[in-house]
Amino acid sequence: MFVSSLIEGIVIGSLYALMALGSSLVYGLLRILDIANVAGLVLAAYVGQDVFSGTHSLPLALLAGIGSASTLGFLLQRLLYRSLLGRSPIVPLIASVGVFIAFEELFRLIFGPYELNFPASVGLPSFHLGGNLVTGVELLIVLVGCTVLVATWAFIRFTRVGLTWRAVAQDRETSAAMGIRTSLVMGVVFVIGYGLAAVAGVLLAINYNSITPTMGDIPAYKVLAIIVLGGLGSPLGTIAASMLIGLSETFVAAYWGFVLPRDSIAFILLIVVLLLRPQGLIPGEPVRA
Amino acid sequence: MRTKRVRAGAVVAVAAALVGCTAAVAIAAPTVHRASQISIGFFAPESGFAAADGQSAYDAAKLAVNQINAAGGVHGQMLKLVNYDDGSDVKQAVSIATKLVTQDHVTAVVSGSYSDQTLAAAPIFQRYQTPMLAAYAVNPGIPAAGSYIFQQDYAGNVEGAAGAYTLVKMLHATKIGVVSIDNDFGHALVAGFKAEVAKLGASIVETDFNQFGEKTFTPVLQRDMGKGANGYYMVQYAAEAQQYMTDWNQLGLKKPLVGTEGVDSTLQFVKPVGKAADGLIFTTPFNRDGANAVGKKFISTFAKAYGHLPDMVGATTYDSFLELKTALLKGTSAEAIQASIAATRDFNGAAGTTLRYTSGRSAVKPVDLEIFRNGQVHHYAYIRNLSIITP
């Protein structure tokens, strides 16, 4: 049971990390908790499923999902968030919640209330590890998760563009004064952030073979917990928090059953960690006011 | 002097105008001896996480009303469906109930909603003495709200007991793992299940209640396996049951597994899960194979109208309207409707035969068992033991 719980926890943690990383990047840059990022996750699942139904090509489905979610992210930052930047942080948060709720109903109206399935074969073999079956999809989630997370971290840490992002995150006005096109940086971060959510959305839909208009409910508030628990504005912290939550949920279920609502575990951990370490697991870089 | 006369004249003129207007209104307003329509209230979760079930129920409600009206209505009076979406929200259900009785002045109500919402709305209908039929909400607390509230589907504890009988007596399980959705529906079924398991001398290794949206059942299934479970009881709705079956198959479990009417959804479970559910037996009132004339007509007209086969939610909603029509034919007052439903005997509906209602207004009807074979749902058996099916 320990090995299977460990594997299950790593898979779930990888999914959480992919879900939360986009929002973490956005927060790191703009100090906006963007719940609407999860609307991008759900949109990508629907678009990906639609494209897969017509083409039976998973790469095309993924690209379509990423394209649709990234477009949504770009439009939201352009039409909504930019005008809210100077306001109190609660204002864009409430706006993003409103956008998310509106999109939930939009998905129901466009795609219908019924669950859709995404029975895609990912081309990877299932195998037994420690007596437990690991499916091809679960393997793909872990591989994609690791690749994306490492690539994102390396991009931010070692590239010139990443340096630009960090500069804008630290001080937007000074960055603009230094010649950095902050509006372009914002647009790119949203495009990439929503693209990451899209990858999570498509993998989530394939793994559970299920897409519903309300599939973003739980990720929406869990992403909040992950970002805060990991350390606001810290992608590494987001990854650490995702793994911690994924493993905790799985081990609690394995040894004590559903003694607690699964989703409450993330918030219990959040409270405990913040009491002991208010800055989160791996704090982000300090921001000049 | 002249001013006084003018004033007096004005007063008389105004008074005459007022009297005249009143008379005109009295003459103009028709004396209504009989309404031209009979308003029937209906609410279901047409948005939110349960939208699929709500839509199915609403579709069945519309079909029933259309068919009743096409056949001449109730003594020439057409039924008017007053529909509201409760959004799977208890607070919304309460608002809707209040509106139906205080503003829409409906003659009767059918609940096409889940137990939580129906449980919250029932006391309001009782307070306003408006008869209500709960189509598929199974919590025993619903008819307990009062004399005007009826439960058209068998109660949750009955269904749970039937599930226990199936697992223990028919499938010979002795140690059972239970995983149930954490709501009124789940708790009602598990309570009935546990009581019957105890009577039959079997035992339960663990009982777990999960939230809506749970996607990972492997840990609890493995834990139950480790504790020696040789039978499993799954009380889930379609979305959660789908994930349960995925994990069940991944673990390669080959033990008896009994589910409930929560999985009886053509679009949400039968079609997507298909052969992965082979071997699953579930309790439901809706026997597709052995459908009587009413059932056959319902299945064919529903499929024609909506492009897919109906499910339990639709069948029980449809039956609720047919029962209501039967009652309305005997009288449209609340007391007449209440008395007629209470006196129901051997009502043949799409979802089986309602033998009668208990004094507590719960339906007594045989429990149908359906089984998945080759990805399709087929009739398996009936449980007719009165000791089990009588709430």
pLDDT digits (tens, 9 = 90+) for B199-256: 999 999 999 999 988 989 998 999 999 999 999 999 999 999 999 999 999 899 999 9
Contact in structure between B191 and B156 (CB atoms under 8 Å): yes
Pick the CATH number of B8-154+291-357 from 3.40.50.300, 3.10.20.90, 3.90.1150.10, 3.40.50.2300: 3.40.50.2300
A51 has pLDDT over 50:
yes
User: Residues B142-168, buried b or exposed e (16+ Cβ, 10 A)?
Assistant: bbbbebbbbbbbbbbbbbbbbbbbbbb
Pick from B215, B251, B267: CB nearest A208:
B215
For residue B329, the SS3 value is: helix
CB-CB neighbors (< 8 A) of A254 in chain B = 219-220, 222-223
The chain-wide mean pLDDT, for chain B, equals 90
CB-CB neighbors (< 8 A) of B265 in chain A = none
pLDDT grade for A274, boundaries at 50, 70 and 90: confident
The answer to whether the Cβ–Cβ distance between B250 and A133 falls below 8 Å is yes
pLDDT grade for A284, boundaries at 50, 70 and 90: low
Quick one: what percent of chain B has pLDDT higher than 90? 81
CB-CB neighbors (< 8 A) of B213 in chain A = 217-218
Distance separating alpha carbons of residues B204 and B136, to the nearest angstrom: 27
Contact in structure between A89 and A31 (CB atoms under 8 Å): yes
Distance separating alpha carbons of residues B176 and B167, to the nearest angstrom: 9
**pLDDT for res A57:** 93
Pick from A108, A114, A249: CB nearest B268:
A114
Q: Is B215 on the interface with A (CB under 8 A)?
A: yes
pTM score of the predicted model: 0.82
Pick from B222, B243, B250: CB nearest A254:
B222
A195-223 pLDDT, tens digit per residue, is 999 999 999 999 999 999 989 988 888 99
ipTM of this complex: 0.79
pLDDT grade for B342, boundaries at 50, 70 and 90: very high
**pLDDT for res B28:** 38
pLDDT grade for B30, boundaries at 50, 70 and 90: very low
Which tokens go with B70?
Answer: 């096409």
CA distance B173 to chain A (A): 21
Q: Is A53 on the interface with B (CB under 8 A)?
A: no
**How is chain B split into domains, by residue range?**
8-154+291-357, 157-284+368-389
B27 has pLDDT over 50:
no
CA distance B48 to chain A (A): 7
The chain-wide mean pLDDT, for chain A, equals 88
Q: Is A167 on the interface with B (CB under 8 A)?
A: no
User: Residues A246-258, buried b or exposed e (16+ Cβ, 10 A)?
Assistant: bbbbbbbbbeebb
Which architecture does CATH list for B157-284+368-389? 3-Layer(aba) Sandwich (3.40)
Which tokens go with A7?
Answer: 């594997």
Distance separating alpha carbons of residues A174 and A186, to the nearest angstrom: 15
pLDDT grade for B5, boundaries at 50, 70 and 90: low
The answer to whether the Cβ–Cβ distance between A115 and B272 falls below 8 Å is yes
